[in-house]
Chains A and B, each alone.
Chain A
Amino acid sequence: MGNKDLYRHDVIVVGGGLAGLRAAVEACDRGADTAVLSKVYPLRSHSVAAQGGINAALGNSPAAKDDNWEKHAFDTIKGSVYLADQDAVEILCREAPGAVFELEHWGTVFSRDDHGRLAQRPFGGADVPRTCYAADRTGHNLLNTLFEQAASRGIRFYNEFFVTSLVVDEETCRGCIALDILSGNLHGFSSKSLVLATGGYGMIYDHSTNSLINTADGMALAYSAGAKLKDMEFVQFHPTTLSGSNILISEGARGEGAYLVNSEGDRFMAKYAPQAEELAPRDIVARSIMKEIQAGLGFDGGCVHLDLRHLGAEKIRERLPGIRQIAMDFADLDPVEQPIPVQPGQHYSMGGIDVSPDGETGIRGLFAVGECACISVHGANRLGGNSLLDTLVFGRRVGDKAFNESHDEAAPVVEAALNREIKRLDELFSSRGESFASLMREMKKTMFESFGIFRDENNMQEGLGSLNELGKKFEGAAVNSARKIFCQSLVRTLELGFMLDIAGAVALSALWRKESRGSHYRTDWPDRDDDRYLKHTLISKTDGQKPAIEYSPVKLGLFPVKEDGY
């Protein structure tokens, strides 16, 4: 399967999305010999699909004149249902304007207001219009800019390299092993520090808005290497995804004034969130839609309608061209003339690798940032527009830290690990048996049904049982392809292994938390319980095998914990 080429770099970043590229640019600017490994060409990373925008308290909108970082922080913490660490939120919100201006200076073509400044739109859970945007293709524009910056700096890119394992020795990360997908060869990478920026795990669920490559890889790599995962039970479901294909219809649509309507023609959000209505936080809107559907007030196919028509053709064409295009391409309708059928779908992973605000994982030389990490700034529920911000603000900080805290290389250790990995994959490669596809389908279904928008003990226990069964079956899973070059069935089998590991972590964490908070909603424990559960869930493989759960306190200090509604 492999050859013995060993690559060396000071800083290795795994992931070519926004978080990875921002970290790489910083490490490179500080003087590190920096490399980015990405399983897809960086511009194909999931970040490219982000639509609605990025938050920063610039106060550009007339309705937000006295906006400031404290207000942004308050909205973020309230949205997180007080589970976010307030020291980290302070960093996020204080550094937000600088992070957005930096991308603007580097070339991002943001949408403008009448004064030529960055335009800002309202977004769910925010008090005032605070979300900067590039039409509804914000991620695409930011990612192109960062890629342009990274490529012009001489950062070394290993595109379509799939990291299969980390090399950890003496509690220090020494590098990683990666499969060159195009050639089918395995390579060792020796580094002084390694940053995981591998994004989310949407593919463990049926009905996800995520790119099909979001398969939990980095979280599983860190988990297996002994790092802790934090708050894994918090899974964001986006209220408005295109019925069927679950392609996202951005919150930007509701920000611009779109209505949610049931089959009786009622704007039902007024019932559930009298003040915020359509712009209540995502978890509330998602549950409200599900309740309407369950009450028989949905449309065929289990959906409600998102109605843009009253906004008028001009506004729709100008402000929401991407959404209009998506509706035309993937639902064969024009939202200027017809409402869009929408249903909730898995969208974002609030939980992730437990890290400090500088991305430290507890394993020396191993850092994590972006959606695969949990700092935590999103707590029980992320606000729209805060996760692109998270990737930039903390990407920079973690790139800096990875440069400063580098460790000695240990090339022989990496080489030995490479030999073991060659053997492991050779065996997997030549195996014949049940393929990944049926196991994957079963996992997705189990996760959506048992660990979805509404949860309860019985259902979750049953789901956990199914996951354990699937884990056993996976041991006999086979690649069933004799072609080494671009062997997707090998990659997808390895991805399934990662996903099953992480699905298990989500399941155990969700069972542990016997309360409802933000996105984690238990019908058997419908109330929030600060006395017992105002704390982070941590899960790790203590003896390298069986996962164990512990908890850690939430860092408060800026704002007192309150009961509040929307």
Chain B
Amino acid sequence: MIIRIHRGKGGKYDDFDIEAAEGMTVLDLLFYIQENVDPSLAFRYSCRGAACGSCAVLANGLPVLACKTPLSKLTKPAENGQVFLPVSAEIPGGGILLEPAPYLPVIRDLVVDWEPFFEKYRKLEPVLKAGGETPEKEYIVGHDESREMEKYTNCILCALCWSACPIVAGVEGYPGPAALAKLFRFYLDPRESGDIDRLSIADNESGWWACDFYTNCKKVCPKGVPPNVAIGRARKLLKDKEEGK
């Protein structure tokens, strides 16, 4: 099977002819190449269990976690709901094209610079700002409230949604789906001080209101996080407030 991999900072691709083993994931394949064929290949990894968010790549145009994606999934016919992004080289027939995740500067091979993604995340001040007196024990938080937050705390900040979002590509200053989902998670938190107006932080043309609900974020998210739902709910809450509801 021909594996075509992006090399260097841009434009160049190397082909590897690899006998793929049964059940191999994209990450297994990258390790196989680095350990047996070309030690200079660069890619990120850590947990190999879809928990740490290190290994986002573009595989045959699909934005995926390398550790969670079996090669077989990439050579099968497209499924409903899959989001394909434009590729920069030809996908080898019956083979696999691996490229760095889009909309982040490339450092080398499949490694990108996360800074633009995390800069937006930091800007929204993702830290609990609790109000009132700290209880001696835990805060009392209901089942339902905590489950609602969980939907968003499940985010592993892998930046796949960033890479798949047309608004990130088109609107200057857009925080991106993951950062907005994070902001909404803090808005939902009953422990937050009532003085903080989390929703207003992104209440502008390049914030909540920039989203066009392509819902690519939810479709590509490896952890089932629905940033689109957070954005929709924030908009409704802001509208209701403006209309004095």
CA A106 to CA B156, docked complex, whole Å: 19
| Given A144-B153, A486-B108, A213:B143 Cβ within 8 A | no
| Given A48-B51, A152-B127, A437:B36 Cβ within 8 A | yes
| Given A49-B51, A104-B138, A483:B108 Cβ within 8 A | yes
B131 to A: closest C-beta gap in Å: 12
B92 to A: closest C-beta gap in Å: 24
Write out the residue numbers on chain B whose beta carbons fall within 8 Å of the beta carbon of A58.
137
Task: Out of A44, A107, A182, name the residue touching B53 (CB < 8 Å).
Answer: A44
Is there contact, CB below 8 Å, between A115 and B42?
no
Q: Specify the chain B residue showing the minimal Cβ separation from A481.
A: B40
Q: Specify the chain A residue showing the minimal Cβ separation from B188.
A: A109
Q: Is A112 an interface residue (CB 8 A)?
A: yes
Is there contact, CB below 8 Å, between B46 and A44?
yes
| Given A44-B52, A485-B107, A101:B137 Cβ within 8 A | yes
| Given A480-B39, A483-B108, A489-B39, A46:B47 Cβ within 8 A | yes
| Given A41-B114, A152-B125, A117:B49 Cβ within 8 A | no
Q: Is B210 an interface residue (CB 8 A)?
A: no
Instruction: Flag A136-169 by CB within 8 Å of B: 1 or 0 each.
Output: 0100110011001101100000000000000000
CA A480 to CA B39, docked complex, whole Å: 6
Q: Specify the chain A residue showing the minimal Cβ separation from B52.
A: A44
CA A437 to CA B32, docked complex, whole Å: 10
CA A211 to CA B48, docked complex, whole Å: 7
| Given A101-B137, A483-B108, A488-B42, A437:B35 Cβ within 8 A | yes
Q: Is A110 an interface residue (CB 8 A)?
A: yes
Write out the residue numbers on chain A whose beta carbons fall within 8 Å of the beta carbon of B137.
58, 97, 101, 117
Q: Is A326 an interface residue (CB 8 A)?
A: yes
Q: Is A247 an interface residue (CB 8 A)?
A: yes
Those of B119-160 within 8 Å (CB) of chain A: 122, 125-128, 130, 134-143, 146, 149-150, 153-154, 156-157
Task: Out of A49, A97, A182, A326, name the residue touching B52 (CB < 8 Å).
Answer: A49
| Given A43-B52, A489-B39, A118:B138 Cβ within 8 A | yes
Task: Out of B23, B36, B49, B134, name the residue touching A105 (CB < 8 Å).
Answer: B134
B115 to A: closest C-beta gap in Å: 10
Write out the residue numbers on chain B whose beta carbons fall within 8 Å of the beta carbon of A107.
127-128, 130, 189, 191
Task: Out of A46, A135, A325, name the residue touching B150 (CB < 8 Å).
Answer: A135
Q: Is B99 an interface residue (CB 8 A)?
A: no
A40 to B: closest C-beta gap in Å: 5
Task: Out of B34, B108, B126, name the residue touching A485 (CB < 8 Å).
Answer: B108
Q: Is A111 an interface residue (CB 8 A)?
A: yes
Write out the residue numbers on chain A whose beta carbons fall within 8 Å of the beta carbon of B127.
107, 148-149, 151-152
Write out the residue numbers on chain A whose beta carbons fall within 8 Å of the beta carbon of B167.
none
Write out the residue numbers on chain B whose beta carbons fall within 8 Å of the beta carbon of A329.
50, 68
Is there contact, CB below 8 Å, between A479 and B130?
no
| Given A109-B153, A148-B127, A486-B107, A212:B134 Cβ within 8 A | no
Interface size on B, residues (CB 8 A): 52
Task: Out of A106, A110, A137, A213, name the residue touching B46 (CB < 8 Å).
Answer: A213
Is there contact, CB below 8 Å, between B140 and A182?
no
Q: Is B216 an interface residue (CB 8 A)?
A: no
Write out the residue numbers on chain A whose beta carbons fall within 8 Å of the beta carbon of B39.
435, 437, 479-481, 489
Is there contact, CB below 8 Å, between B42 and A212?
no
CA A403 to CA B164, docked complex, whole Å: 44
Is there contact, CB below 8 Å, between A488 and B34?
yes
CA A111 to CA B143, docked complex, whole Å: 7
Write out the residue numbers on chain A whose beta carbons fall within 8 Å of the beta carbon of B146.
109-112
CA A309 to CA B34, docked complex, whole Å: 40
Q: Is B111 an interface residue (CB 8 A)?
A: yes
CA A40 to CA B51, docked complex, whole Å: 14
Write out the residue numbers on chain B whose beta carbons fall within 8 Å of the beta carbon of A531.
none
- Interface residue SS majority, chain B: loop
CA A298 to CA B27, docked complex, whole Å: 29
CA A148 to CA B137, docked complex, whole Å: 21
Is there contact, CB below 8 Å, between B149 and A109?
yes
Is there contact, CB below 8 Å, between A247 and B48?
yes
Q: Specify the chain B residue showing the minimal Cβ separation from A151.
A: B122
Q: Specify the chain B residue showing the minimal Cβ separation from A116.
A: B140
Write out the residue numbers on chain B whose beta carbons fall within 8 Å of the beta carbon of A106.
128
CA A48 to CA B154, docked complex, whole Å: 11
Is there contact, CB below 8 Å, between B47 and A148?
no
CA A479 to CA B39, docked complex, whole Å: 8
Write out the residue numbers on chain A whose beta carbons fall within 8 Å of the beta carbon of B23.
244
Those of A174-218 within 8 Å (CB) of chain B: 182, 211-213
Is there contact, CB below 8 Å, between B138 and A44?
no
Write out the residue numbers on chain B whose beta carbons fall within 8 Å of the beta carbon of A311.
none
Q: Specify the chain B residue showing the minimal Cβ separation from A105.
A: B134
Q: Is A300 an interface residue (CB 8 A)?
A: no
Q: Specify the chain A residue showing the minimal Cβ separation from B113.
A: A182
Write out the residue numbers on chain B whose beta carbons fall within 8 Å of the beta carbon of A145.
128
Q: Specify the chain B residue showing the minimal Cβ separation from A244.
A: B23
Task: Out of B46, B113, B189, name the residue touching A40 (CB < 8 Å).
Answer: B46
Q: Is A330 an interface residue (CB 8 A)?
A: yes
A553 to B: closest C-beta gap in Å: 38
Is there contact, CB below 8 Å, between A182 and B51?
no
Write out the residue numbers on chain A whose beta carbons fall within 8 Å of the beta carbon of B46.
40, 44-46, 211-213
Task: Out of A110, A135, A137, A486, name the residue touching B42 (CB < 8 Å).
Answer: A486
Write out the residue numbers on chain A whose beta carbons fall within 8 Å of the beta carbon of B41.
488
Q: Specify the chain A residue showing the minimal Cβ separation from B109.
A: A486
CA A488 to CA B35, docked complex, whole Å: 11
Q: Is A556 an interface residue (CB 8 A)?
A: no
Q: Is A482 an interface residue (CB 8 A)?
A: yes
Write out the residue numbers on chain A whose beta carbons fall within 8 Å of the beta carbon of B134.
105
Those of A455-512 within 8 Å (CB) of chain B: 479-483, 485-489
Looking at B34, B122, B138, B149, which has the most chain A CB atoms within 10 Å of its CB?
B138
Write out the residue numbers on chain B whose beta carbons fall within 8 Å of the beta carbon of A140.
51, 154, 156
Q: Is B54 an interface residue (CB 8 A)?
A: yes
Is there contact, CB below 8 Å, between B140 and A115?
yes
Q: Is B45 an interface residue (CB 8 A)?
A: yes
Those of B154-182 within 8 Å (CB) of chain A: 154, 156-157
CA A280 to CA B88, docked complex, whole Å: 54
Write out the residue numbers on chain B whose beta carbons fall within 8 Å of the beta carbon of A487.
40, 42
B68 to A: closest C-beta gap in Å: 5
Write out the residue numbers on chain A whose beta carbons fall within 8 Å of the beta carbon of B48.
211-212, 245, 247
A198 to B: closest C-beta gap in Å: 14
Enumerate the 10 nearest inter-chain pairs by beta-carbon distance, A residue then B residue, closest first: A107-B128, A437-B35, A481-B40, A116-B140, A489-B39, A148-B127, A152-B127, A486-B42, A44-B52, A44-B46
Binding site for B on A (CB under 8 A): 40-41, 43-46, 48-49, 58, 97, 100-101, 104-107, 109-112, 114-118, 134-135, 137, 140-141, 144-145, 148-149, 151-152, 182, 211-213, 244-245, 247-248, 325-326, 329-330, 435, 437, 479-483, 485-489
Task: List 4 additional A-B contacts (Cβ < 8 Å) besides A41-B114, A112-B142, A486-B108.
Answer: A43-B156, A116-B141, A152-B125, A480-B40
14 pairs, CB–CB < 8 Å, chain A vs chain B = A40-B52, A43-B52, A43-B156, A106-B128, A107-B189, A112-B143, A112-B146, A148-B128, A182-B107, A244-B23, A247-B48, A481-B40, A482-B40, A486-B107
Binding site for A on B (CB under 8 A): 23, 34-36, 39-54, 68, 107-109, 111, 113-114, 122, 125-128, 130, 134-143, 146, 149-150, 153-154, 156-157, 189, 191
